[in-house]
Amino acid sequence: MEKKKETAEEAKRPESAAAAALPIGSVVMWTNEDMPSGWLLCDGSIYAQRLYPELFAQVGHSFGACPKSHDYDPAKQFFVPDLRGRFVRGVDSGAGRDPDAGERRDMQCDHDVGDQVGSVQKDEFAWHTHSYSRFPGVRGEIASGTYWAQTGGTTGGTGGRETRPKNAYLYFIIKAQ
């Protein structure tokens, strides 16, 4: 989808009092790609530090510290968060609610960064099994004697391609100016 270019008139529109009160670096949910002036889509894009110095001062390299391409220079550029298709989770900060907090990865490249803003985890389903008892018999009937021997079994696999709660799509945007 092509992003709409902001006209000079739209760029001059006053920011609402509520939006003006939010500090640079605030991330909020938004309903469409036509963002208010001074906001950027949280799509993992690279921006020049000189164009958004206040945002860079807030986020630094939290959302990626390694190059995705040869055009990325960490001394001059930074990534905004890439929140497309992701659920957001609070930093654990030692609370112990994320048992894998120390194994979190960099958002742009796959190396360990630990329990910090901007780190990500791949999807996972907690390890578990389902067992049941089965009483075999002739044509599935339960019988006496040797047919009464209990054996174990495991259920067949079921489910979709991911574990997820019910959800709704919104855009995430970050205040840049």
Distance CA 121, CA 144 (A): 52
State pTM to two decimals. Answer: 0.73
Distance CA 150, CA 95 (A): 45
Tens digit of pLDDT for each residue in 62-90?
Answer: 998 776 666 788 899 999 999 999 999 99
In the predicted model, what is the mean pLDDT of residues 13-20? Answer: 66
> CATH homologous superfamily of domain 1-88+106-122+168-177?
Phage tail collar domain (3.90.1340.10)
